[in-house]
Amino acid sequence: MTQELFREDSYLRECAARVVSADEAGVVLDRTVFYPLGGGQAGDAGELVLADGRTLAIADTRKCKDAEGRPTAGILHVPATGQEAVLAALRAGDEVTARIDWARRFRHMRFHTATHLLCKLVPQLVNGCSITADYARLDFNMTDPLDKDALTQGIAGLVAAAHPVAIGAIGDAELDANPALVKSMSVQPPRGTGRIRTIRIGDEVDYQPCGGTHVANTREIGAVVVTKIEKKSASTRRVVLGFA
C-alpha cells in the first residue's frame, strides 16, 4: 500500500519515502506526492532522488494492478527510458526523496478546478473528461448548443470571485442518499472504504466526489478560456479549455 499524501495536500512538492519494490516496470514507494493517472487527470512526472544523490526521472505515475488488471493500493512511478543503471541500484527499503514536476502539476490543479467551475455553468452530466498540462476537456451529455464566449466569461467571473476550494469526505450511505452529487457518467467514486473524498467550491458553486488535485482558491486558476466547442455525437458536446 502507498500512502497518498497528495489526497490531503495538493501543494506538497516532495516527500521522503522508502522503496517497496523496483523493477523495469517502475518503482513502488511506501508514501508519495505523485498523483497517479485517474479520474481523467494525467499522472505526475518528476524525479526520485537516491541517497547517493543520483536521480531517477519519472515520466508517468500509474496505479498498480493485480494479475486480473484490477487497481490495487500501490502507486507505480514509471521511469523515463535510458535509466537502467539507476533503476537497478534501487532495493526494497532504500530511502529516496520523491519530487514532482511542480510547474506541470500546478497546471493540472488549475485546469482540474476550472472543470468544476464549468460543471456549475453547464449542469448536464459529464460523460468524458481529460485533464493535462496543456488543456482540459469535458464531454457533456446534452443536445443543446453552447456559447464559447459566454462560458469563458462565466468561468472568469467565478475565478475572480476567489471562491475557496475545500477537501472533505462523505460516507457510502450519504452518497447513496444524494446520488445527484455524482456528476460524471464515466467515472464513479470508489466505494467500500467508508470514506469518499469530496471537493467543495464556495458555498454553492460546486460540490461533488473527486479524488484529483486542486488549487485552494479559484483565483489561483488564472485566465482560462474556452478554446473549442465540438459536437462529438448527437448527445455529446465537448468543451475544451486552455490558458489565455
User: Concatenated DSSP letters for 122-163?
Assistant: S-SPEEEEEE-SS-EEEEEE--S---HHHHHHHHHHHHHTT-
Chain mean position to CA 18: 23
- Domains identified in the chain and CATH numbers: 3-100 (2.40.30.130), 104-243 (3.30.980.10)
Flag whether the pTM goes above 0.75: yes
Residues ≥6 apart with Cβ < 8 Å to 24: 84, 87
Show Cβ contacts of residue 109 under 8 Å, excluding neighbours closer than 6 positions.
10, 213, 214, 215, 220
pLDDT at 133: 98
pLDDT tens for 38-86 read: 999 999 999 999 999 999 999 999 999 988 888 888 999 999 999 999 9
User: 101-140 b/e with 16+ CB inside 10 Å = b?
Assistant: bbeebbbbbbbbbbbbbbbbbbebbbbbbbbebeebbbbb
In this prediction, residue 192 carries a pLDDT of: 64
Type of residue numbered 214 = H
pLDDT tens for residues 167-218? 999 999 999 999 999 999 877 787 667 799 999 999 999 999 999 999 999 9
| β-bridge pairing 31-32 and 3-4 | parallel
Residues facing 62 on adjacent strands: 76
